[in-house]
Amino acid sequence: MTVKVAINGYGTIGKRVADAVSVQEDMEIIGVAKTRPNFEAFMAKKKGYDVFAPEDRIKGMEKANLEVEGSIDDMLERADVIVDCTPGGIGEKNKPIYEKAGVKAIWQGGEDHELAGCSFNAQSNYEEALGRDFVRVVSCNTTGLCRVIKPLDDEFGVNKARVTLMRRAADPADIKKGPINAIVPNPIKLPSHHGPDVKTVLPDIDIATTAVKLPTTLMHLHTINMELNSECTAEEVEALLAKQSRVRFVGQGITSTAEVMEMARDMNRPRSDMWENCVWNESITIYEGELYFFQGIHQESDVIPENVDAIRAVMEVEKDGTKSVAKTNKAMGI
Ligand SMILES: NC(=O)C1=CN([C@@H]2O[C@H](COP(=O)(O)OP(=O)(O)OC[C@H]3O[C@@H](n4cnc5c(N)ncnc54)[C@H](OP(=O)(O)O)[C@@H]3O)[C@@H](O)[C@H]2O)C=CC1
Ligand SMILES: O=C(OP(=O)(O)O)[C@H](O)COP(=O)(O)O
ipTM, interface predicted TM-score of the complex: 0.95
- Asked if residues 222 and 141 have their Cβ atoms less than 8 Å apart, the reply is yes
Ligand 2 pocket (Cβ < 6 Å) reads: 109, 139-142, 167, 194, 299
Centre a 10 Å sphere on the Cβ of residue 325 and count the other Cβ atoms it contains: 23
Q: Which residue's CA is the nearest one to ligand 2's atom 9?
A: 299
The pLDDT value given to residue 139: 98
Q: Which residue's CA is the nearest one to ligand 2's atom 15?
A: 170
In the chain, domain spans: 3-138+303-332, 140-297
CA-140 nearest atom, ligand 1:
47
The pLDDT value given to residue 250: 98
User: Per-residue confidence of the chain (334 residues) as pLDDT tens digits?
Assistant: 899 999 999 999 999 999 999 999 999 999 999 999 999 999 999 999 999 999 999 999 999 999 999 999 999 999 999 999 999 999 999 999 999 999 999 999 999 999 999 999 999 999 999 999 999 999 999 999 999 999 999 999 999 999 999 999 999 999 999 999 999 999 999 999 999 999 999 999 999 999 999 999 999 999 999 999 999 999 999 999 999 999 999 999 999 999 999 999 999 999 999 999 999 999 999 999 999 999 999 999 999 999 999 999 999 999 999 999 999 999 999 9
Verify whether ligand 1 is closer than 6 Å to residue 115 (CB atom): no
* CATH T-level topology, domain 140-297: Dihydrodipicolinate Reductase; domain 2 (3.30.360)
CA-192 nearest atom, ligand 2:
6
The residue length of the chain stands at 334
The pLDDT value given to residue 115: 98
Measured CA to CA, the distance from residue 228 to residue 215 in angstroms comes to 33
Helix (H/G/I), strand (E/B), else coil: 250: strand
The pLDDT value given to residue 194: 98
Measured CA to CA, the distance from residue 260 to residue 282 in angstroms comes to 15
- Catalytic residue at 140? yes
The pLDDT value given to residue 272: 97
Measured CA to CA, the distance from residue 138 to residue 150 in angstroms comes to 14
Ligand 1 center–CA 84 separation, angstroms: 9
* CATH T-level topology, domain 3-138+303-332: Rossmann fold (3.40.50)
The pLDDT value given to residue 29: 98
The pLDDT value given to residue 265: 98
Q: Which residue's CA is the nearest one to ligand 1's atom 37?
A: 36
Verify whether ligand 1 is closer than 6 Å to residue 36 (CB atom): yes
Tell me whether the omega of the peptide bond preceding residue 54 falls within 30 degrees of 0, making it cis: no
The pLDDT value given to residue 120: 98
Verify whether ligand 1 is closer than 6 Å to residue 85 (CB atom): yes
In the chain the beta strands, taken as DSSP E runs, fall at 3-8, 27-33, 51-53, 70-71, 81-84, 104-107, 119-120, 134-137, 158-168, 184-185, 207-214, 220-228, 247-250, 277-280, 285-287, 290-297
Of 104, 81, 84, which is closest to residue 94 (Cα–Cα)?
Answer: 84
Q: Among all ligands shown, which has an atom nearest to the Cα of 88?
A: 1
The pLDDT value given to residue 324: 98
Residue 194 labelled as part of a binding site: yes
The pLDDT value given to residue 7: 98
Of 248, 241, 212, 243, which is closest to residue 226 (Cα–Cα)?
Answer: 241
Q: What are phi and psi of 32, to 5 degrees?
A: -130, 145
